[in-house]
Amino acid sequence: MTTPLFLEIDNTPRDYAWGLIDGVAHVRGTAPTGRKEAELWLGAHPSAPSAVVGDAPWPALDAWERETGATLPFLLKVLCAAEPLSLQAHPSTAQAKEGFERENALGIPLDAPNRTYRDPHAKPEMIVALHDGFEALCGFRPLADVRDDLQTLAGLIDDSAASSALSTWQQHLGGADGIRNAFLWLLSGDESLPALVAAVTEVAARDARFALLARIAEAHPADSGILGALMLQHLTLRAGEALWLPAGNIHAYLRGSGIELMGPSDNVMRGGLTGKHIDTVELDRVLDARESGDPRLVPEIVSDGIRVFRPVERSTADDPGFELYAAEADGEIALDGPAIALATDGEFELASGDERISMPRGRAVLISRPAAMRITGAGRLFVAAG
């Protein structure tokens, strides 16, 4: 049997605690559910493979991969955040393979809460903002700027225990490998940290210079990740702007909706702002503890109506194996392997040879094989490709 070029796919939105009420429905233009909708997964990841809609030989994309031998080297998501996500970083391919095999050897079930590596894949990722005002923490700020802020806090904190802890933080920051040691100390559970978190939260509530920390504290009170956030870059994106987060990058999305493209993985090393498992040993292994520079990803122009985001791993200069096209009008793209398309505004048609499919707002399709693809229509269409 010849596999159709286009297979409509769908999935159930994931209702994580930080999700936005009706978030995915709003992006897709579908009926509201009244529930939190944090993420929609479009791909073949075994934790939540996309279902194939209609009459097809495979119920879901994981079965399609197994039975055809094709692979999707990415996972495409709609992400809708009403509150800050956890501080987190993701492993490289080598780190993921080693960690996955190690935890398998230890007999830790894949669905165990204390499991860190749930698959043997890397998870570099990018996100494109769907609307103005998407906010994120992404990568470490310049060391000098962090030191200046700590010095300002030192003049605003009256509590002696908190002042002593702040001095310890400053000492870590001023030593060898200061960014790494200072950040990991904040996550160490040191007995002096609660007083410092309380004091910084109190300062943030009354001093506009630290208003971001006050917002984070509202969602995650008494969490030492509030302090960690002070060491990270705070960025606000306009619609269509993108961030690139390579392996080891420490980040947390704060609020807003975006299209996220990543390696086909669910490996997360959390470092605060969460009630889930935190593994600081593994976070230390994968953490890129350098000043990050500007993490915005500038697209290339394919044609008047189409751009493409092509990331490269910062740490290894390796191609992460995926790219994301963003179409607003007619154009053509060449796909070297299977792809996934999602329309978020307007209406399009995809065509290759004699095969074609309409793409109204909200529809997602698998493009099952390499193809020269014609895109016609207007609005906003994303195509994730390997």
Residues 63 and 119 both lie in one domain: yes
Where is pLDDT greater, at 26 or 3?
Answer: 26
In terms of pLDDT, which residue wins out, 81 or 122? 81
Same domain, 146 and 119: no
**82 and 161 belong to one structural domain:** no
> Of 198, 225, 252, which closes a domain?
225
CB 43 within 8 A of CB 75: yes
Higher-confidence residue of 121 and 128: namely 128
Note the pLDDT tens digit of each residue in 343-362.
Answer: 999 999 999 999 999 999 99
Mean pLDDT of 140-144: 96
Q: What is the pLDDT of residue 1?
A: 56
Is residue 282 included in any domain, yes or no? yes
117 lies in the same domain as 156 = no
Query: For residue range 158-201, what is the model confidence (pLDDT) as tens digits?
Result: 999 999 999 999 999 998 899 999 999 999 999 999 999 999 99
Residues 147, 132, single domain; the answer is no
Q: What are the structure tokens assigned to 65, written together?
A: 């991969």
Burial class (CB in 10 A: 0-12, 13-18, 19+), 220: buried
In terms of Cβ atoms closer than 10 Å to its own Cβ (0-12, 13-18, 19+), residue 197 is: buried
Residues 49 and 117 in one domain: yes
Contact 7, 366 (CB under 8 A): yes
pLDDT in tens, 271-285: 999 988 888 999 999
Residues 89 and 122 in one domain: yes
Q: Average of pLDDT values for 363-368?
A: 98
**Where is 282: in which H helix or E strand?**
helix 280-286
- 117 and 43 housed in the same domain: yes
Q: What mean pLDDT is predicted for residues 34-50?
A: 96
What pLDDT score does 207 carry? 97
For residues 126 and 246, state if they share a domain.
yes
Query: Residues 126, 250: one domain?
Result: yes
CA-closest candidate to residue 263, choices 153, 118, 131? 118
pLDDT-above-70 percentage for the chain: 98
DSSP letters of 173-241?
HHSTTHHHHHHHHHTTT-TTHHHHHHHHHHHHHH-GGGHHHHHHHHHSTT-THHHHHTTEEEEEEPTT-
Does 29 map to a domain? Answer: yes
pLDDT at 245 over 90: yes
The C-alpha atoms of residue 118 and residue 107 are separated, in whole angstroms, by 12
Domain count of the fold of the chain: 3
132 in the same domain as 21: yes
Residue 24 main-chain phi, psi, to 5 deg = -70, -40
Q: Give me the CATH number covering residue 353.
A: 2.60.120.10
Is the same domain home to 161 and 77?
Answer: no
Residue range 11-35, pLDDT digits in tens: 999 999 999 999 999 999 999 999 9
Show the domain range for 122: 13-137+236-286
The C-alpha atoms of residue 79 and residue 384 are separated, in whole angstroms, by 15
Question: Which residues fall within 8 angstroms of residue 121, CB to CB, at 6 or more apart?
Answer: 93, 96, 263, 264, 265, 267
